[in-house]
Amino acid sequence: MAYDTDNIFAKILRGEAPCIKVYEDEHTLAFMDIMPQMDGHTLVIPKQEAETLYDLSETSALACMKTVQHVGKAVAKAMNFEGTTIFQHNGKAAGQTVPHFHFHILPGPIFGAKALKGHAVEFADTDELQAIADKIIACLD
């Protein structure tokens, strides 16, 4: 299917919609999930117009992995949690709600986690998200 250039992450990349940024480089952008499933829920996206993992160029795939490593470590440190859960959806059928490839980084478990909120359900307070982003940024190597 053709890439939808009107999706919200494409708009964020073009500067047409806001985001709470934690990291950016030539090929990737990381920002806070606006409806976090737990505090610290962060997204990593490629700048390439790609809907799923299977549409990523090798350059974007490698760059995303590098950014997930870099930002993931900072998310865990900032949220005082020793691990992370990384996941991503490919296609509507698999539960993908934004058709631009992204990794989710969660500083906690998904399975068996009582405190886990629903997926893309409840908007967080922007000031609280910014405060968490500031902590993550301070923990980036």
State the binding string over 48-87 for ligand AMP (x if CB under 6 A, else -).
Answer: ----------------------------------------
Among 27, 41, 100, 102, which one carries the catalytic annotation? 102
Total chain residues near ligand AMP (CB under 6 A): 13
Residue from 57, 69, 97, 130 in contact with ligand AMP (CB under 6 A): 97
Element (H, E) at 4: none
Least CB distance to ligand AMP at residue 58 (A): 22
- Euclidean distance between CA atoms 92 and 52, whole angstroms: 10
Is 27 noted as a catalytic residue in this protein? no
Pairing of strands 21-24, 28-32: antiparallel
Beta carbons within 10 angstroms of residue 119's beta carbon: 13
Nearer to ligand AMP, 65 or 86 (CB): 86
DSSP-assigned letter for residue 15: T
Which of 3, 7, 8, 49 is in the footprint of ligand AMP by CB under 6 A? 8
Identity (one letter) of the amino acid at 6? D
For position 19 contacting ligand AMP by CB under 6 A, the verdict is: yes
Residues counted in the chain: 141
**Per-residue three-class SS string for 38-75:** CCCCEEEEECCCCCCHHHCCHHHHHHHHHHHHHHHHHH
- Asked if residue 89 binds ligand AMP (CB under 6 A), the reply is yes
The catalytic site residues sit at 102
List of residues contacting ligand AMP (CB under 6 A)? 8, 19, 33-35, 43, 89, 95-98, 119-120
